[in-house]
Chains A and B, each alone.
Chain A
Amino acid sequence: MGMTEELFLQVYERYKNTVYSVIFNYVKNTEDTADLMQDVFISLLNADVLFMSDEHMKAWLIRVAANKCKNFLRGRKHISDTPLPEDIPYETSENNNDLLKIVLTLPEKYRIPLHLFYYEDYSIKQISMVLDEPESTIKIRLKRGREKLAKMLRKEDWI
């Protein structure tokens, strides 16, 4: 392993929500999120990467999580004869996460940049780097994602 246990515990505590929320945003169920979450942090334990800063490590984790999710979803598409449903049920019983539910109904291409923008306070440049997409693409996805979200929120009398 490339990292001491003590350091790993600190890192996990600091970034567990970051990684969990990114993965959940992709796969939209807690069971697969748990599996992928472990995969991402095991990759970190085994990684031979010199991190320049906390931000660098965080960006690395998000990028690894995003790539693992894409591979996972791609694999699932291959073994399934039917297309994936747009909304896979997720476990939650509270009524106080209505905004979360609405965001999760957005298509993935808008949902992930919006999540990074809202939850991680990431700039367009940072989102472009972790998702490996051109800034102009991210800019457009954010713009259209926000427009779609605003429409949905208005419909739900949220705004």
Chain B
Amino acid sequence: MSRVKDEYQKQMAAFCEKNNTISAQDILSRAKNQPPTEEKEKVVEFKPKKSKGMVWKAAIPAVLCFLLVGTTTLAATGKLTNIFRSIFQDEKTAEIVDAGYFQEMDLVASDEKFEATVIGVSGDTANARVAIDIYVKDEELIQGLNKIYIEAYCMSKEEYEYNLESYATWEAYGKQDEEIPNLYHVSLRTGIWIADGQEAVLEIVKIRLGGDGKPWRDHDVSLKYNIQADRKAFYLAEQQFIDFVPFEYKGRTYSLIYVISGYYETELIFRDLGAEKPPQGSDCTREEYEAWLDFIQQVVLVVDGVEYKVIPGKEHFPYYEDNTYGDGSYTHMHPYFPAYVNDDATSVEVRCGDTVYKVK
């Protein structure tokens, strides 16, 4: 198309020369005669991007606290802000991007039917968010369909190569682009691997397309990316190891081993060392699962005297670990509680019945 380009440039330049009758002097005169306007120029401040599309802020807690009060005067820090805030209505991630924690990417994987582009990453170090655009190449596939759902693996390269079968997929629904019907936007939560700064593999393995009142259609795919993000592109979730503090409840012992204070939520990790070997293909027996759910409802996170219960409606699953590292079989549970700003909190406790553990 270089002939088209050359000819277009020639024709457009000739057209401008012929039709633009305004001189610079006209504009200067108008500017001088124009009364000062009340309306301030609202458009744009264009700044060249930094080389890797990444912006840092040093004063993290202060910046985030400032953002939390809901200011609307901050300039947008990039396309990712818009993607998370406007398309996904994910205000938390948009705030993290506003504070400078993000990394823009342009990683493309495609097959005959789909082209999927990783636009960028953000989130906190406990939960990376990956923004992905999925373009359906074959328009026949989306006749009357406007919904998308994807499943993807995400883990370290080593785990991907040797231990893939131990992992479940991450799943997310996406949004259809307002202007381009065969373009979909997806925000995928992917846990710790990408945020850890190590070489990670993200593989989209299933794309489902659906529509109102229409059955979903599954497409098995293998759209794979090697991603090595910079850790500084993620808000630091404070992770505190707790030395197996036991909480006794209804004859079982649940040991607290981690408190992770992230931007999205607070994650407590408990371990049940007395777990039975679960039935094949599951992580615990039904009885144990119900015991876990009962237990986490009793746990209270207390921050500066304010009590928080486990976030309702959030999916909480136990995970079984076999005798891999010599410390016996056990199950984990990761109940989620509301987030707090660790630097601002003066007192943090975990309580269950009469047992109180002072985290801070």
With A63-B46, A135-B106, A149-B4 already in contact, the answer to whether A42 and B21 are too (CB < 8 A) is no
The yes or no answer to A151 lying at the interface (CB within 8 A) is no
- Which of B27-35, B59-67, B274-282 contacts its partner? B27-35
- Are B24 and A96 interface neighbours, CB within 8 A? no
Could you say which residues of chain B place their CB within 8 Å of the CB of A64? 41, 43-44
Report Cα–Cα, A37/B30, bound state, in Å. Answer: 12
CB distance from A124 to the nearest CB of B (A): 9
Report Cα–Cα, A137/B45, bound state, in Å. Answer: 22
Report Cα–Cα, A133/B3, bound state, in Å. Answer: 28
CB distance from B120 to the nearest CB of A (A): 9
Within 8 A of A (CB), among B53-93: 79, 82-83
- Which of B10-18, B195-203, B334-342 contacts its partner? B10-18
Report Cα–Cα, A24/B22, bound state, in Å. Answer: 14
- Are A37 and B20 interface neighbours, CB within 8 A? yes
Interface residues on B, range: 35 or more
- Are A134 and B49 interface neighbours, CB within 8 A? no
With A42-B30, A42-B31 already in contact, the answer to whether A60 and B46 are too (CB < 8 A) is yes
Could you say which residues of chain B place their CB within 8 Å of the CB of A109? 179
- Are B79 and A134 interface neighbours, CB within 8 A? yes
| Nearest opposing residue in chain B for A93, CB measure | B18
Report Cα–Cα, A132/B11, bound state, in Å. Answer: 27
The yes or no answer to A73 lying at the interface (CB within 8 A) is no
Could you say which residues of chain A place their CB within 8 Å of the CB of B11? 96-97, 99-100
- Are A12 and B24 interface neighbours, CB within 8 A? yes
The yes or no answer to A88 lying at the interface (CB within 8 A) is no
Report Cα–Cα, A139/B180, bound state, in Å. Answer: 12
- Are B135 and A140 interface neighbours, CB within 8 A? yes
Q: Which of A52, A97, A118 contacts B5 (CB 8 A)?
A: A118
The yes or no answer to A130 lying at the interface (CB within 8 A) is yes
With A99-B7, A159-B3 already in contact, the answer to whether A132 and B30 are too (CB < 8 A) is no
Could you say which residues of chain A place their CB within 8 Å of the CB of B83? 134
Could you say which residues of chain B place their CB within 8 Å of the CB of A119? 8-9, 12
- Are A134 and B133 interface neighbours, CB within 8 A? yes
Q: Which of B4, B20, B28, B183 contacts A137 (CB 8 A)?
A: B183
- Are B8 and A46 interface neighbours, CB within 8 A? no
Report Cα–Cα, A12/B183, bound state, in Å. Answer: 39
CB distance from A32 to the nearest CB of B (A): 12
Report Cα–Cα, A137/B48, bound state, in Å. Answer: 20
Could you say which residues of chain B place their CB within 8 Å of the CB of A33? 19-20
Interface residues on A, range: 35 or more
Report Cα–Cα, A159/B266, bound state, in Å. Answer: 62
The yes or no answer to A41 lying at the interface (CB within 8 A) is yes
The yes or no answer to A68 lying at the interface (CB within 8 A) is yes
Could you say which residues of chain B place their CB within 8 Å of the CB of A68? 43
Report Cα–Cα, A132/B180, bound state, in Å. Answer: 16
Report Cα–Cα, A8/B119, bound state, in Å. Answer: 38
Could you say which residues of chain B place their CB within 8 Å of the CB of A60? 44, 46
Report Cα–Cα, A142/B238, bound state, in Å. Answer: 44
- Are A97 and B15 interface neighbours, CB within 8 A? yes
With A34-B21, A109-B179, A133-B79 already in contact, the answer to whether A49 and B45 are too (CB < 8 A) is yes
Sample (30) of A-B pairs whose CB atoms are under 8 Å apart:
A5-B28, A8-B24, A8-B28, A9-B24, A17-B13, A20-B19, A24-B15, A38-B22, A42-B27, A49-B46, A52-B48, A56-B47, A59-B46, A60-B46, A63-B43, A64-B41, A67-B43, A67-B44, A99-B4, A99-B11, A115-B12, A119-B8, A129-B46, A129-B49, A135-B117, A136-B119, A137-B180, A140-B135, A140-B183, A153-B4
Q: Interface on A for B, CB 8 Å cutoff?
A: 1, 5, 8-9, 12-13, 16-17, 20-21, 24, 30, 33-34, 37-38, 41-43, 45-47, 49, 52-53, 55-56, 59-60, 63-64, 67-68, 91-92, 96-97, 99-100, 103, 109, 115, 118-119, 128-130, 132-137, 139-141, 144, 146, 149-150, 153, 158-159
Q: What 4 additional pairs, Cβ within 8 angstroms, besides A21-B12, A42-B31, A118-B5?
A: A16-B22, A45-B28, A55-B48, A59-B46
